Amino acid sequence: MKSKEWIQAALSRAVAKVTAKEQLLPRLLRKAAKRRNISLLDQDLEKLTNAILSAEGNVATVDMGAPCSFGETEEEVHATVQGLINELNGSIGTDIEEDLSEKMSAVISEALRAIAGIISEHIADNALEHTLDLRRAHALRAELVQRLWGKALERLDFQRHIVLEWSGAAIELRKGPYASPNTAFALKRLVDRAYEVVGEIIILVSGGYADGALARWRSLHEICVTAIFLAKQSDRCALMYLSHHRVEELRLREADRASRTGMIRNRNADRSMRELRLEVSAMIDRFGAAFVGDYGWASIELGRSKTTFRDLEHHVGLEALRRRYKWANSTVHGGALATLKRITLRDTSIDGVHVAPALGCEVATECAAGSLSMMIAELCLESDSADLLAMSMVVHDYAHRVREQISQKIKEMSGDTPRARILQRKAQQGKNRVKKLRIPRRR
């Protein structure tokens, strides 16, 4: 980093360049010539400047060689030069002040831009070096995550593929909740989305971003609760759920429209908004006033004026995950708890580059496996298909394998393994033998 002395020296050089007599005098002479309505050639002005700068005492030898821009004859040249010098002597103080105030701001700005450029390059070099250090640290963390939770992630990935296969088979069989067209379509899209979200969780965990993975599990939990709820309700409920996207779209477009007040409105957009409002109004007439609520489709089905996600969670019997869900909520919002106790960044030093192992990666992994298992178990309740039941058993088995693998790794990290316990027992037995062999001192 350049020192303060270097920056001061750079500014001093810039100021000296403006205030140097070789730079200042030509500007003052040209200003004086302008006041006397004299148009000077650059080469003639340079000759006069050199003559004045090289003058001995009060005598300056000016050899212009008439004719020139100072005059046609030597007498005219002499008179013009003398007139300029007199003009300059009479206003030099004011001219210097005006000239420097005009030039100084420009040269200082230019010097500061040059200094800022050099400093920016230095900062960029340091930032690049720091970024590379952080990348290496994060790469080491990802390697550690792979060693700790790699097998569990592989099993979760296989589990989500089986869930997608199960969904395809259920669509073809058209039994249970899949016998109803709207419910079948809604469940297919929800399972497809669950598949994608689990993929995101795997990627985030692989990079060591435990809190980000838990935030995505929050979405997965909501997807699974919604799927289980729809599977237990009428086909009309699924139709309302699918239709509710128009209510959500209208809210977003109205919010966007409100933020664009004063802008030129597009006629096609206005017409589209009118059509969307009419469509939502028709749905309200068809389904009921509660339909426009956040979970209006569920409110109509349950005969309530208002329904919350917690109501859905309670209805499908997944309240056991409420604690994890609230934990995941804290990773999504900007509250102090997540800020001070983020899972991923606990016990780390970002400025010091050291990045600790991603504590908590196993939480989102285990939650995701459990959510998929519970969703498929509920969707299979009314199925008598051997294929669906077999694939469901595989899904549950892999959820168990994920939990088992995580439990085993946690025991290894804490030293609570059969091998560790045997070694501790042997060490204690050795201590006991030493005590027995110890000879008591005679008094």
Cα–Cα dist 53/60, whole Å:
8
Cα–Cα dist 167/40, whole Å:
90
Cα–Cα dist 11/7, whole Å:
6
- Of 193, 190, 197, the C-alpha closest to 213 is 197
At 438, the amino acid letter reads: R
Give the tens place of pLDDT for each residue, 150-193.
999 999 999 999 999 999 999 999 998 999 999 999 999 999 99
Quick one: pLDDT at residue 215? 93
Cα–Cα dist 241/182, whole Å:
9
Give the tens place of pLDDT for each residue, 19-51.
666 667 777 777 777 777 878 787 777 777 777
The per-residue pLDDT of the chain, averaged, comes to 80
Give the tens place of pLDDT for each residue, 373-387.
999 999 998 888 899
Q: Is the backbone peptide bond immediately before 67 cis, with ω within 30 degrees of 0? A: yes
Contact by Cβ (8 Å): 246, 278:
no
The enclosing H or E element of 94 equals: helix 74-173
Query: What are the structure tokens assigned to 428, written together?
Result: 């204690």
Give the tens place of pLDDT for each residue, 238-251.
999 999 999 999 99
- Between 52 and 369, whose confidence is greater? 369
Quick one: pLDDT at residue 37? 81
Contact by Cβ (8 Å): 100, 19:
yes
Q: Tell whether the model's pLDDT for residue 414 goes beyond 90.
A: no
Give domain limits for the chain: 7-129, 149-246+280-425
How many Å is the Cα radius of gyration of the chain? 41
Cα–Cα dist 184/383, whole Å:
14
The half-sphere exposure of 107 on its side-chain side, counting CA atoms within 13 A, is 18
Q: What percent of the chain has pLDDT over 70?
A: 71
Cα–Cα dist 97/388, whole Å:
92
Largest CA distance in the chain: 132
Quick one: pLDDT at residue 239? 96
Give the tens place of pLDDT for each residue, 204-236.
999 888 889 999 999 999 999 999 999 999 999
Query: What are the structure tokens assigned to 375, written together?
Result: 């969703």
- Of 208, 211, 190, 198, the C-alpha closest to 160 is 198
Q: Tell whether the model's pLDDT for residue 92 goes beyond 80.
A: no
Give the tens place of pLDDT for each residue, 393-412.
999 999 999 999 998 888 88
